[in-house]
Amino acid sequence: MLLSIITPAYNEEASIEKLWTRVRDALEPHGRAHGYDFELIFINDGSHDRTLAQIRRMAKTDLRIKYISFSRNFGKESAMLAGLTYCRGDYAVIMDSDLQHPADLLPKMMDAAQKGYDQVMAKRTRTGDAKGRTFFSRLYYRLVNNLMDVHLEDGVGDFRLLSRKAVDSLLAMKESTRFSKGLFAWIGFDGITIPYENVAREEGTTKWSFRALLKYAVDGIMSFNDKPLRISFYTGLFTMLLGLIYIIYSLVRVLVVGIEAPGYFTMISAVLLVGGIQLISVGILGEYIGKIYYEVKGRPHFLVSETNLPHLRMPCGKDDNAS
């Protein structure tokens, strides 16, 4: 039995060696006791520092270290997809390379998996997070769970163990704009949650800017429902009804009181309100059309420039096993 640990890495040269040491120390005794081997697959997502050089050096010292290096930065979603696509384990774990996902949780996840669970999810506490970040995170989860067709649990992210059945189910979904948190929930299967304390980043800085987080949040909402389109429709219908009511009111007032000079404030307010609703509705429609545009193009999610996986061959680029 084989456990594949998939680790996206982007400019993480300071932490990847520590990660391997902690994973090895956590899994070697547990693997011997329970009869399984493990491998760590680094996905170098176009790093600009010495992340790839570090991984190459480590891979020469231990055959359990594998890697896939992208031709450029394609993003974490593509990195996770590459790992799931090319891993060969009976189970797969996705964990970050910034040391915020504790490796000592891996044996507990394997114990739960061997009881028959197809998804073993790690749930972190909000201890140590800024109050503002905690507030907006909870607000976001409340919003998306009211909009999306699947349920997302606050604190449960990508750090999880997946059975081969769950991995194959995820790979069967080929959409270009991937929102893995939603996909994990969509496939279902029996799952269990293991809580752990929030861990502060030891090395480097976060790669998630506010703009990237906002884009990720919008992608999540748009990827799993058409409610924004329906909200636009209902808002337009409600605005039209308000307009009809105002027309009837104005007509009655003209018949009873007589014609008055039109109100500047009323006209400007109506124009701004209706115009704003129209722009928002067009923007929502544009988001969905944009996603259709990317789906139709059918471009690959990532391009591999180098790897030491023997079963991964590229039509171009460097295969470390061929050198």
pLDDT at 145: 66
Same domain? 129 vs 243: no
157 and 234 part of one domain:
no
User: How far apart, in Å, do the first and last CA atoms of the chain sit?
Assistant: 29
User: Helix, strand or coil for residue 191?
Assistant: strand
DSSP state for residue 320 in the 8-state scheme: G
Q: Strand 318-319's sheet: what is its strand order?
A: 191-196, 119-124, 156-163, 91-94, 2-9, 37-44, 65-70, 304-307, 318-319
The answer on 143 and 27 residing in a single domain is yes
pLDDT at residue number 323: 36
**pLDDT on residue 317:** 39
| Run of H or E including 121 | strand 119-124
CA 118 to chain centre: 19
Spell out the per-residue pLDDT of the chain, length 323, in tens: 899 999 998 888 888 888 999 999 999 898 888 888 999 999 998 888 889 988 999 988 989 999 999 988 888 888 989 999 999 889 999 998 888 888 888 999 998 888 888 889 888 876 656 666 666 667 776 777 676 777 777 777 788 899 998 999 989 888 777 877 878 888 888 888 888 887 665 555 555 555 666 666 666 666 666 666 667 767 777 776 776 777 677 667 766 766 565 665 566 667 766 776 777 777 777 777 777 777 777 778 888 888 888 876 654 434 454 43
Question: Do residues 43 and 90 share a domain?
Answer: yes
Task: Identify which of 170, 196, 173, 157 has the alpha carbon closest to the alpha carbon of residue 8.
Answer: 157
Instruction: Dump the DSSP string for 52-120.
Output: HHHHHHHHHH-TTEEEEEESS---HHHHHHHHHHH---SEEEE--SSS-S-GGGHHHHHHHHTTT-SEE
Contact by Cβ (8 Å): 17, 58: yes
**Nearest alpha carbon to residue 181 among 220, 141, 124, 140:** 220
Specify the amino acid at residue 210: F
Q: Are residues 41 and 125 in the same domain?
A: yes
Which amino acid type is present at position 23?
V
Q: Is the same domain home to 251 and 305? A: no
Query: Are both 218 and 240 inside the same structural domain?
Result: no
Same-domain status, 137 and 95: yes
> What pLDDT score was predicted for residue 316?
42
Question: Are 144 and 193 part of one and the same domain?
Answer: yes
Total number of domains in the chain: 2
Tokens 């996603």, residue located: 291
Secondary structure of 254-306 in the HEC alphabet? HHHCCCCCCCHHHHHHHHHHHHHHHHHHHHHHHHHHHHHHHHHHCCCCCCEEE
Determine contact, residues 107/91, Cβ cutoff 8 Å: no
Domain span at 310: 2-224+300-322
Residues 199, 72 share a domain: yes
Shared-domain flag, residues 102 and 250 = no
- Give yes or no: residues 114 and 201 share one domain: yes
Q: Which residue, among 316, 315, 314, has the nearest Cα to 86 in the 3D structure?
A: 314
CATH number of the domain within which 65 lies: 3.90.550.10
Alpha carbon dihedral 128, 129, 132, 136, in 10-degree steps, equals: -140
